[in-house]
């Protein structure tokens, strides 16, 4: 759809430029860029690039335009192409842009690596805004990599009428069952406001409140005095106006002159009453801010908002803060620079004007690796927000959609669960929230060159030995490498800190929570899967992963002064700690060498390091006795794809049925190798409802018979296994 829009723009200009040289297209793109018409700039820069793809300027300008119209995958490819040309000498900002786009694609490790690399390469410009921003992004990526979900949040896209054009849809205001929302109009480059009734996560009626052919209106907000406030674009600048309800006559509205400032933009109004006084929260790039767009606040005096003040440096940063929403002492807003998952994340700061608390990230679900903003609440039951996140099974999403989220009930304590379930199973949300716990190993450890399936080593012993090899990893990786020793050292330091040490720390947390559950009288079953890099045959690797899994069980026996041992042995008054061992052997990876002589690639490379691991991937617990049937039903647990092409991905849909009268939560779905991708259509299945588990199998150019496992982990129940098979046959 993006390409359709920009091609239309290009065709409108075709009679002027189609017969010209690539630099003529480039000049037209520059003109469009100067006035902020990024779709048109994208079209012209693309044509210039297609005629001369080796031109550095054409590449960087098309990349910038792609980023502006939110075609992030294309922008990342183009920035990378430009950076690889001269390692960023001609375009120093390129590496920062690459890292930012890696972050927004959810590749936080690569983003962290490249932000650090940018800081090292530009250490002489420590006072530059981009250098400061890179330092902040390093903190943000580190925070994300250490983040653990604390609750299950599952927003769904609001069902809205289809559109023939590429457009963004943003939440404005919610009252009772009525939603006010804004929608971009690509044909006129304007915004329009709509009012809709919402029922069952779907828009039932669409009532247009403004004419996009006459003016650009967005971000409507209603107050308690019968006024509607909104953003209005005039002469290329946005300001805030108000009109009387219920007419919504935007043409006869009143401009808030005390809020407007010459040469600046003011937008996204939100009215809140605090201690009997009206306050206007809004977004502006006016003078006196901290950088980009800031949140400002104006107090009403005799019915007029006057003397706007900046919300302060606790809320605002050197980047953009937008979409304020205030309710009951809590300010929700979106920020680019506070520690978050993506471009714009939703944050919460408790307090009052002039006294704000430290902003806290609203967490995964509300936030994603993309842009999340315009958080709004409807009473105490629903949350609406806008996001351009990509949904499972869908192509990249450039534009914002509106999402709706039902607020979760507070977690009930164990006594309530026992009384209400009469002994039925209990979901272990807090314990599962720290999963997966991933533990890493040095090559062929423990017990190298052994065919044993067990070991006397604990994981702690292998972990300590692994840490002592960090220097060796740097030295071996540096042999005949074009990468600088500084970059290699940084990458390997990050691996040990963010992977090896983090895994060990996560294990500490897991053990503490596991002890709490066992002490409550909850029997727990833990699923552990193991992997190995492909230096040896699969049978050997399977035995190796069995030893690695055993080292974890030995670890639990040794921890907490032997606390877990009677539970593992089944002698703790009927309360048991048991294990599902899933020794899958090597993961399917085309990126890791199995050449025994090439130890640099097969042992010391990042790909090999990442595959030598075990994972605690699921835990199920139940209050004894369990006297009810499981909720999860899988009508099919086996599928044979038959003969498949080595380079063709094949798919199979499995039905996942909830046959109970309660909601069923699917905690995770895990495949035995990277060649198999399971995606649930929803993680929360309503009573008597069902979902689809779409399983994709990628042969990766292999051959012969392949058998793969997928584990489905429902909260509060034992995991279930699905088997898929295929015979990979080479093309004739």
**8 Å CB contact between 324 and 281:** yes
Map 194-213 to HEC letters: EEEEEECCEEEEEEECCCCC
> What's the CA gap between 479 and 485, in Å, rounded?
10
> What's the CA gap between 137 and 95, in Å, rounded?
13
Length of the chain: 732
> What's the CA gap between 324 and 331, in Å, rounded?
7
pLDDT at 588 over 60: no
**8 Å CB contact between 403 and 384:** yes
pLDDT at 629 over 70: no
- Provide the 8-state DSSP code for 499: I
Of 191, 174, 193, the closest CA to residue 405 belongs to 174
Residue 585's pLDDT band, with cuts at 50, 70 and 90, is low
User: HSE (CB half, 13 Å, CA atoms) of 551?
Assistant: 27
Domain 156-406: assigned CATH number: 2.115.10.20
Give the model's pLDDT for residue 4.
Answer: 41
Where are the CATH 2.115.10.20 domain residues in the chain? 156-406
- Provide the 8-state DSSP code for 505: H
> What's the CA gap between 404 and 158, in Å, rounded?
6
| Architecture of the CATH domain 629-732 | Sandwich (2.60)
Tokens, residue 646? 């080595």
Residue 105's pLDDT band, with cuts at 50, 70 and 90, is confident
Over range 114-141, report the average pLDDT.
91
User: 656-696, pLDDT tens digit by residue?
Assistant: 999 888 888 886 787 766 677 788 888 888 889 999 999 98
Label the pairing between strands 345-352 and 330-335. antiparallel
Report the chain's mean pLDDT, rounded to a whole number. Answer: 85
Give the model's pLDDT for residue 152.
Answer: 56
Lowest mean pLDDT among 209-218, 334-343, 442-451, 554-563: 209-218
Over range 103-125, report the average pLDDT.
89
Backbone dihedral angles phi then psi of residue 450, each to the nearest 5 degrees: -125, 145
Over range 405-410, report the average pLDDT.
62
User: 166-214, pLDDT tens digit by residue?
Assistant: 688 999 999 988 999 999 987 778 899 999 999 888 888 888 898 888 8
Query: How many other CB atoms are there within 10 angstroms of residue 177's CB atom?
Result: 12
> What's the CA gap between 154 and 433, in Å, rounded?
15
Residue 162's pLDDT band, with cuts at 50, 70 and 90, is confident
pLDDT at 62 over 50: yes
- Compute CA distances 415 → 285, 341, 426, 625, 711, whole Å: 53, 36, 11, 15, 31
Over range 125-147, report the average pLDDT.
90
Give the model's pLDDT for residue 8.
Answer: 44
Where are the CATH 2.60.40.10 domain residues in the chain? 629-732
Give the model's pLDDT for residue 597.
Answer: 60
Over range 358-387, report the average pLDDT.
92
User: 636-663, pLDDT tens digit by residue?
Assistant: 999 999 999 887 888 999 999 998 888 8
pLDDT at 480 over 90: no
Q: Which helix (DSSP H) or strand (DSSP E) does residue 7 occupy?
A: helix 2-12
User: HSE (CB half, 13 Å, CA atoms) of 563?
Assistant: 12
pLDDT at 543 over 60: yes
User: 7-40, pLDDT tens digit by residue?
Assistant: 444 444 444 545 568 999 999 999 999 988 888 9
Give the model's pLDDT for residue 731.
Answer: 61
Q: Which helix (DSSP H) or strand (DSSP E) does residue 16 occupy?
A: helix 14-17
- Helices (H), strands (E): how many in the chain? 19, 34
Percent of the chain with pLDDT over 90: 48
Give the model's pLDDT for residue 428.
Answer: 62
**8 Å CB contact between 662 and 631:** yes
pLDDT at 569 over 50: yes
Q: Burial of 77 by CB count in 10 Å (0-12 exposed, 13-18 middle, 19+ buried)?
A: middle
Q: Which residue has the higher pLDDT, 482 or 261?
A: 261
Give the model's pLDDT for residue 411.
Answer: 36
Q: Any idea which residue has 């552990």 for tokens?
A: 528
Domain 2-146: assigned CATH number: 1.25.40.10
Of 609, 610, 585, the closest CA to residue 529 belongs to 585
Lowest mean pLDDT among 225-229, 274-278, 621-625: 621-625
Where are the CATH 1.25.40.10 domain residues in the chain? 2-146
pLDDT at 471 over 50: yes
Lowest mean pLDDT among 141-150, 238-247, 341-350: 141-150
Give the model's pLDDT for residue 341.
Answer: 94
Q: Which residue has the higher pLDDT, 609 or 602?
A: 609
Over range 469-486, report the average pLDDT.
88
Lowest mean pLDDT among 34-43, 360-369, 639-648, 717-726: 717-726
- Residues β-bridged to residue 442: none
pLDDT at 634 over 80: yes
pLDDT at 625 over 50: no
CA dihedral sign, ordered 516, 519, 524, 528:
positive
Lowest mean pLDDT among 155-164, 280-289, 438-447, 539-548: 155-164
Give the model's pLDDT for residue 408.
Answer: 56
Give the model's pLDDT for residue 474.
Answer: 93
Lowest mean pLDDT among 291-300, 308-317, 378-387: 378-387
Give the model's pLDDT for residue 732.
Answer: 58
Please report, in angstroms and rounded to a whole number, the separation of the first and last CA atoms in the chain.
Answer: 37
> What's the CA gap between 257 and 686, in Å, rounded?
51
**8 Å CB contact between 638 and 609:** no
Query: How many other CB atoms are there within 10 angstroms of residue 73's CB atom?
Result: 14
Label the pairing between strands 577-586 and 401-406. unpaired
Give the model's pLDDT for residue 14.
Answer: 46
> What's the CA gap between 65 and 32, in Å, rounded?
10
- Residues β-bridged to residue 299: 279, 306
């Amino acid at each position: 759809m993006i390409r359709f829009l920009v091609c239309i723009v290009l065709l409108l200009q075709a009679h002027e430029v189609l017969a010209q040289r690539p630099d003529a297209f480039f000049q037209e793109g520059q003109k469009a860029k100067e006035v902020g018409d990024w779709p048109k700039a994208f079209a012209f820069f693309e044509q210039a690039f297609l005629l001369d793809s080796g031109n550095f300027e054409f590449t960087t300008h098309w990349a910038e335009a792609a980023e502006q119209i939110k075609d992030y995958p294309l922008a990342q490819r183009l920035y990378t192409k430009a950076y690889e040309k001269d390692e960023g000498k001609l375009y120093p900002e390129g590496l920062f842009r690459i890292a930012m786009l890696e972050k927004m694609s959810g590749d936080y490790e690569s983003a962290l690596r490249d932000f650090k690399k940018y800081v090292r390469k530009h250490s002489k410009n420590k006072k530059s805004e981009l250098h400061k921003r890179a330092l902040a992004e390093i903190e943000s990526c580190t925070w994300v990599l250490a983040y653990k979900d604390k609750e299950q949040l599952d927003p769904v896209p609001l069902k809205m009428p289809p559109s023939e054009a590429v457009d963004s849809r943003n939440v404005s205001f919610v009252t009772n069952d009525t939603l006010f929302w804004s929608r971009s109009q690509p044909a006129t480059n304007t915004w329009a406001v709509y009012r809709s009734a919402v029922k069952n996560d779907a828009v039932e009626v669409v009532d247009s409140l403004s004419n996009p052919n006459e003016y650009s209106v967005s971000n409507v907000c209603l107050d308690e005095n019968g006024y509607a406030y909104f953003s209005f674009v005039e002469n290329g600048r946005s300001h805030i106006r108000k009109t009387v309800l219920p007419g919504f006559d935007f043409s006869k509205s009143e401009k808030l002159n005390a809020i407007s400032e010459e040469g600046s933009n003011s937008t996204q109004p939100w009215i809140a009453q605090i201690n009997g006084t009206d306050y206007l929260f809004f977004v502006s790039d006016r003078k006196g801010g901290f950088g980009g767009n800031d949140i400002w606040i104006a107090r009403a005096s005799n019915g007029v908002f006057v003397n706007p003040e900046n919300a302060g440096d606790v809320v605002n940063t050197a980047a953009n803060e937008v979409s304020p929403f205030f309710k009951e002492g809590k300010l929700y807003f979106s920020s680019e620079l506070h520690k978050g998952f993506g471009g714009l994340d939703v944050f919460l700061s408790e307090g009052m004007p002039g006294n704000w608390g430290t902003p806290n990230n609203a967490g995964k679900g509300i936030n994603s690796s993309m842009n999340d903003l315009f958080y709004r609440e409807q009473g105490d039951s629903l949350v609406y927000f806008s996001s351009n996140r990509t949904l499972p099974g869908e192509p990249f999403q450039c534009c914002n959609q509106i999402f709706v989220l039902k607020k979760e009930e507070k977690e009930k304590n164990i006594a309530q669960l026992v009384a209400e379930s009469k002994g039925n199973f209990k979901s272990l949300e807090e314990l599962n929230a720290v999963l997966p716990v991933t533990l890493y190993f040095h090559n062929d450890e423990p017990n190298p060159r052994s065919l044993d399936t067990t070991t006397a080593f604990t994981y702690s012993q292998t972990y300590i030995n692994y840490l002592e090899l960090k220097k060796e990893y740097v030295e071996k990786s540096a042999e005949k490498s074009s990468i600088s020793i500084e970059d290699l050292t940084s990458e390997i330091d990050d691996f040990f800190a963010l992977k090896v040490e983090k895994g060990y720390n996560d294990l500490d947390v897991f053990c503490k929570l596991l002890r709490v559950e066992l002490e409550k009288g909850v029997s727990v079953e833990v699923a552990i899967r193991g992997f190995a890099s492909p230096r040896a045959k699969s049978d050997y690797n399977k035995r190796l992963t069995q030893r690695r899994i055993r080292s974890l069980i030995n670890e639990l026996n040794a921890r907490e002064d032997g606390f877990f041992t009677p539970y593992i042995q089944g002698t703790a008054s009927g309360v048991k700690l048991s294990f599902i061992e899933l020794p899958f052997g090597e993961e399917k990876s085309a990126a890791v060498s199995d050449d025994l002589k090439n130890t640099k690639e097969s042992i010391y490379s990042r790909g090999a390091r990442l595959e030598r691991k075990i994972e605690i991937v699921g835990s199920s617990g139940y209050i004894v006795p369990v006297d009810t049937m499981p909720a999860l039903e899988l009508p099919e647990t086996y599928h044979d794809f038959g003969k498949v092409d080595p380079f063709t991905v094949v798919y199979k849909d499995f039905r996942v049925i909830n046959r109970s009268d309660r909601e069923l939560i699917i905690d995770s779905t895990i495949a035995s190798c990277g060649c198999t991708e399971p995606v649930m259509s929803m993680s929360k299945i309503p009573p008597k409802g069902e979902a689809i588990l779409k399983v994709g199998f990628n042969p990766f150019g292999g051959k012969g018979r392949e058998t793969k496992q997928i584990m489905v982990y429902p909260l509060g129940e034992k995991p279930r296994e699905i088997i898929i098979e295929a015979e990979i046959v080479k093309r004739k």
